[in-house]
Amino acid sequence: MSAPGRVVSISGLTKSFKTGVTALQEIDLDIRPGEFVSLIGPSGCGKSTLLRIVGDLVQPTSGTVLVNGKTAHRARLDHDYGIVFQDSVLYDWRTVSRNVSLPLEMLGWSRARRKERVREMLELVELTGFESNRPWQLSGGMQQRVSIARALSFDPALLLMDEPFGALDEMTRERLNMELLRIWEKAASTIVFVTHSIPEAVFLSTRVVVMSARPGRIADVVDVDLPQPRGAETREQPRFFELVTAVREALAAGGRGQPAPTLPAGTEERY
Amino acid sequence: MEPVPPGVVRAIGGRFVDWLPALAVFALGLALWQGLTTAFNVQTFLLPKPTDIATAFWNDRGTLWDYGLYTLKEAAGGFAMGCSAGILVALLLARFRGLGLALLPFAIAANAIPIIAFAPITNNWFGLLNPVSKMVIAAVLCFFPTMINTLRGLTSVHPSSIELMRSYGGGELAVFRRVRIPNALPFMFTGLKVSAVLSMIGAIVGEYFGGPTNALGVSILNDSQLFDFPRAWAGIMLASAFGIAFYAAVSVAERLTTSWHPSARTFRSE
């Protein structure tokens, strides 16, 4: 049953809502260990739904999702997921360090082990010194870093991120993009990242999955061959712009609706 | 390990300066009352002078204080009964949504019943001299605000907060323990503060329909029937003071348990 070398293995996945709307249709996608995969697409293309189905927070109508060869449900109960939402979802009644240790408490870690891990994680996201602050005393960017520290604290097999930087200003966003890449390399994790920012998707990912809307399906997959490690200069490379253009064109093609792409070359200019 | 939270200091009363405007208004109000009742020679049975009320209280302070404590005990008993029932029902309704849909309309309708009109009936059920007859009135008054506020706190949880718990493999119990209940605390205290005041009112009104002579409500009623209006007013003032003290005690408990709440502290920027 298990697909070797696959963290996530999605096949024939369809999701229809009771209202009759088909959110996702016939999705096939494999994600290898250590990959950074972005899901990008217009609003309503089902990218967040797809992420939630992978995380077993939403049930698919048909098709299968395997995570490390297990069902998504089993994987969730096995604590294989770290999740970061657009909203940092920190609990006001817990200090920063107790927010980070929340999943560890649920896993039954000892106090000493939790303390040590929280220290490491806060160091990783550069928030040492804010242990006893309350979440609402931090800026939006800092809150999101706490949320990332919490998601990574228990070394989940898969990090699911649903537009984690969508609510932040451009400067904070670019800074956190760099930080996320640094963390990704250090933690050697596999990341599925939902975004609707094309440069963000290209900058971060090893692969960009371009989705089209109504019904949501995979329109194209763009391999990002930018060299690692990436930095501020990556955004200035000609290859970066080429890839941004490739994703943009794939989005435009998908936006016309399926079946695509059958229009003659050069038609893109009209859009 | 954490330092004493600054919330504690605020909880005990904050800075004296913060209270100055309120104290000034209080003093001004008393002065006006005294001045106007004297200037227009208002009859005592209409409105006694503050000094008359104070004198009446002072002359009988020991007795009135004991009466007040007796009534406060009834109020506190009713508060404990009504509020714990309210919290329990809120937990059940939040856990079992179907139950909530079935019962909530009745709870709201029941809230429209003038509960105080039941005072003669509870006196009949539990006995005129039994404090339980007053506690039940206070309890019924406390139940609804506590229940509805707690329920709102338990249910007004950000959906992502619940998804987060689920992503850690947490079940319904974990969601309640780690999200819903802490989230409900500030809401619950809003209900408890309303209830603290209502419980004192419930106890006093219950006593108006009969009770032991050492109860404040009975004493107020007797004094006004005997035309001892300054003493009746002294009783009313004492009842208010106990009600306010009860409210303040609940507020302190609130500040101590929910010092994490954004409203309890000042902002700190990055």
- From residue B211, how far is each of B37, B72, B116, B263 by CA, in Å? 33, 14, 15, 42
Q: What is the mean pLDDT of chain A?
A: 86
A256, pLDDT greater than 80: no
User: For A222, phi and psi rounded to 5 degrees?
Assistant: -105, 120
Sheet hosting strand A22-31, strand order edge to edge: A22-31, A8-16, A62-67, A70-71
Lowest-pLDDT choice from A125-134, A180-189, A215-224, B137-146: A180-189
* Chain A 46-75, residues with CB within 8 Å of chain B CB atoms: 52, 55-57
Going by pLDDT thresholds of 50, 70 and 90, the confidence category of residue B32 is very high
Residue A189's pLDDT band, with cuts at 50, 70 and 90, is confident
* Residue A206 contacts residue A224 (beta carbons within 8 Å): yes
A271 has a chain B CB within 8 A of its CB: no
In one letter, which amino acid is B165? M
B270 found inside a domain: no
Contacts of residue B81, Cβ cutoff 8 Å, sequence gap at least 6: B135, B136, B138, B139, B142
Tell me which residue of A181, A165, A164, A180 sits closest to A226, measured CA to CA. Answer: A181
Average pLDDT in the A158-176 region? 87
The pLDDT value recorded for residue A168 is: 83
- In chain B, how many H helices and how many E strands? 12, 0
Out of A112-121, A196-205, B98-107, B139-148, least confident range: B98-107
Q: Is residue B182 part of a domain?
A: yes
Total of domains in chain B: 1
Give me the residue spans of the domains in chain A: 1-80+178-264, 87-155
Nearest CA in chain B to A53: B167
What is the average per-residue pLDDT within B59-69? 93
Residue type at position A54:
V
pLDDT band of residue A188 (cuts 50, 70, 90) is: confident
| Nearest CB neighbour to B164, from listed A83, A94, A133 | A83
Specify if B146 maps to a domain. Answer: yes
Q: Is residue B181 part of a domain?
A: yes
**Triad B196, B201, B207: Cα angle to 5°:** 130
Contacts B168 to A, Cβ<8 Å: 79, 102-103, 106-107
Which residues of chain A make contact with B261, given a CB cutoff of 8 A?
92-93
What average pLDDT does this structure show over B119-129?
89
pLDDT tens for A20-42 read: 788 888 889 999 999 999 999 88
Q: Is A270 a residue whose pLDDT tops 60?
A: no
> Taking 80 as the threshold, does the pLDDT of residue B23 lie above it?
yes
Residue B130 in domain: yes
Beta strand A62-67 with A207-212 is unpaired
Residue contact B262–A93, C-beta within 8 A = no
> Does residue B92 lie within any of the structural domains?
yes
Whole-number pLDDT of residue B98: 86
Lowest mean pLDDT among A211-220, A261-270, B164-173, B225-234: A261-270
Residue from the list A103, A132, A133 with its beta carbon closest to the beta carbon of B168: A103
Q: In chain A, what residues touch B160 (CB-CB under 8 Å)? A: 85, 87, 89
- Percent of chain B residues past pLDDT 70, beyond the cut: 91
Q: What type of residue is A238?
A: P
What is the band of A172 on the pLDDT scale with cuts at 50, 70, 90? confident
Instruction: Quote the pLDDT of residue B63.
Output: 92
Backbone φ, ψ for residue B61 (5° rounding): -60, -45
Residue numbers of the domain that contains B137: 6-264
- Nearest by CB: B169 against A76, A92, A93: A76
> Model confidence at A214, in pLDDT bands (50, 70, 90)?
confident
Q: Note the pLDDT of residue A255.
A: 59
* Residue B264 predicted with pLDDT over 60: no
Q: pLDDT category, B241, cuts 50, 70, 90?
A: very high
**A258 band by pLDDT with thresholds 50, 70 and 90:** very low
Q: Residue A212: which of A257, A246, A267, A245 has the closest Cα? A: A257
Task: Pick B264 or A118 by higher pLDDT.
Answer: A118
Q: Which position has the higher pLDDT, B79 or A87? A: B79
CA distance A86 to chain B (A): 9
> What is the value of pTM for the model shown?
0.81
Min Cα distance A57 → chain B (Å) is: 7
Contact B167 A136 (CB under 8 A): no
Q: Is B201 inside a domain boundary? A: yes
Quick check: A161 pLDDT over 90?
A: yes
Region B124-132: what's the mean pLDDT? 90
Q: Assess A111–B contact: CB distance below 8 Å, yes or no.
A: no
The model's pLDDT over B152-205, given as tens digits with 9 standing for 90+, comes to: 999 999 889 999 999 998 888 999 999 999 999 999 999 999 999 999 999 999
Is the distance from CB of B220 to CB of B239 less than 8 angstroms? yes
pLDDT at A253 exceeding the cut of 70: yes
Residue A126, Ramachandran bin (φ over 0: left; ψ between -120 and 50: alpha; else beta): left
What is the β-pairing status of strands A207-212 and A217-223?
antiparallel
- Contact check, Cβ <8 Å, B182/A91: yes
Q: What is the pLDDT at residue A233?
A: 86
Average pLDDT (A173-177) is 86
pLDDT confidence of residue B14? 59
Averaged pLDDT score across all residues of chain B: 87
Residue in chain A lying closest to B4 (CA): A132
Smallest Cα distance from B165 to chain A, Å: 8
pLDDT level of residue B19 (50, 70, 90 thresholds): confident
B7 touches chain A (CB under 8 A): no
Instruction: Give pLDDT, residue A209.
Output: 94
pLDDT at A2 over 50: no
The average pLDDT across A233-244 equals 90
What is the CATH code of the structural domain delimited by A1-80+178-264? 3.40.50.300
Residues in chain B: 270
Location of structure tokens 């200090």? A95
State yes or no: pLDDT of B257 exceeds 60: yes
Cβ-Cβ contacts under 8 Å for A213 (sequence gap 6 or more): A41, A42, A43, A44, A45, A46, A254, A255
**CATH number where B129 lies:** 1.10.3720.10
Taking an 8 Å cut-off on Cβ atoms, the answer to whether A78 and B160 are in contact is no
Which pLDDT value is given to residue A266?
40
Give the tens place of pLDDT for each residue, A51-110.
999 999 999 999 999 998 899 999 899 888 989 998 889 999 999 999 999 999 999 999
CB contact under 8 A, B179 and A137: no
Q: Name the pLDDT band for A271 (thresholds 50, 70, 90).
A: very low
| CA-closest candidate to residue B5, choices A71, A134, A129, A186 | A134
Q: What is the pLDDT of residue B210?
A: 86
| Complex ipTM | 0.81
User: Can you list the pairs that A66-70 forms with residues at least 24 positions away whose Cβ atoms lie under 8 Å?
Assistant: A66/A1, A66/A2, A66/A3, A66/A6, A66/A8, A66/A9, A66/A10, A67/A7, A67/A8, A67/A9, A67/A157, A67/A158, A68/A2, A68/A7, A68/A157, A69/A1, A69/A2, A69/A3, A69/A6, A69/A9, A70/A2
